[in-house]
Structure 1
Amino acid sequence: MSIDPLLVKSSFAAVEPHGTEVTAYFYRHLFEHHPAVRGLFAEHMDDQQDRLFAALGALVTHLEDTDTLVGILQDLGRRHAAYGALPEHFPAVGGSLLATLAHFAGDAWTPETEASWTAVYGVVTDTMGGALADAVRSAARD
């Protein structure tokens, strides 16, 4: 699977105007389908929703700037380790992300777009997951 930056950017352009509806839908979907992860989050989600939307925007903005993107994702991975996130949470998050994007992208969501976003999320998982695992190992040694 390869990433088509044009498909990712155009589908996100269709999603972006929905703003906080996107992140609210994402978290509802995540908690409904994976209730065990709810405990990792604060009771009030406004700040978390804003951070998620900003992270998605940064992901799309820096999609073709590998060095910047890797740095952002590694930082996110390290921070998520401190929140108690685990590598096994990534599939749940990815499933909810794809469901959310499909819901809000409308006609911009095609099988090719889904394949591209799936590939993007693979990069997210690999990069964030590696940094998360490194942070957990480092904390265990300390």
Structure 2
Amino acid sequence: MGCVNSTKNKLKQGKFETSKSGHRKTYLTTNGHTGNGVSPETSPREEDIKPAITERQKELVLESWEIVQADVSTVGVNMFMRLFETQPDVQDVFVPFKGKSADELKDSTQLKSHAMRVLSAVEKSIASFDNPKRLEEMLSDLGARHVMYNAKVDYIDLIGPQFIWAIEPVVGDKWIPEMEQAWSDLFKYISHIMKASMTF
């Protein structure tokens, strides 16, 4: 999981969509886009606007990801445990996890394996900050694969908040609201691209 180290040095202005507008702390909805001169009658729907992430947010994501990598498998399992706890219907979508207790899930090698695949996609997203075209292609492909798995589009939005919940205690004293917002905005972006390839 060390491929993001080189990304730190590659962050360049304009390489990834950058938002100069303020951010609000609402998970998995698009950033506030105001003052763009578009009337409400002609403005695009909020879900049609591709979310953006600032250079500062990319730095915060990279900084915290380096910390998370030391305990990434625990973060992944905790993320899914929290997801299944808060959204029990989602657990039943995963055939290997259907009907399993929390204790069974915590010790499940299948859950750990799936969690690691998800976090590998997160790492690849971070490593592609300097190549937005490659990032979008990767996320579109990931979304298309989820169609084959019969995943519901709405479920894509659920991962971000659970991931943030799982990494906050790992990052510890370095965790700040700005970092939380950076991760939230990254997951909005990931979710937006994936969902676009899941709905045609």
TM-score (norm 2): 0.63
Q: Which amino acid aligns with 1:53?
A: L
How far apart in 2 are the matches of 1:10 and 1:133? 33
**1:25 match:** 78
Letter of the 1:62 counterpart: S
Partner in structure 2 of residue 66 of structure 1 = 132
Which blocks of at least 5 consecutive residues in structure 2 are unaligned? 1-22, 24-52, 98-109
Q: Which has the higher contact order (CA 8 A, sep 6+)?
A: 1
By how many angstroms is 1:63 displaced? 2.1
Q: Which residue of 1 aligns with 2:65?
A: 12
Match of 2:148 among 73, 82, 88: 82
The counterpart of 2:118, out of the listed 52, 76, 79, is 52
User: What residue is the counterpart of 2:195 in the other structure?
Assistant: 129
Q: Is the 8 A contact 2:161 2:184 kept in 1?
A: no
| Superposition deviation, residue 128 in structure 1 | 0.4
Q: Which protein is richer in helix relative to its size?
A: 1
Residues of 2 paired with 1:37 and 1:55: CA distance?
A: 20
Contact 1:20 1:50 in 2 (8 A): yes
Note the C-alpha offset of 1:54: 1.1
Maintained 8 Å contact 1:10/1:108: no
Matching of residue 92 in structure 1 with residue 158 in structure 2: yes
Counterpart Cα distance in 2 of 1:131 and 1:109: 33
CA offset digits 1:90-131 (Å, max 9, x no partner): 332222111112232212321111111111111111100101
Residues of 2 paired with 1:73 and 1:83: CA distance?
15
Contact 2:82 2:162 in 1 (8 A): yes
**Runs of 4+ off more than 3 Å:** none
State how many pairs are aligned.
134
- 1:23 Cα shift? 0.6
Which residue identity lines up with residue 188 of structure 2 in the other structure? G
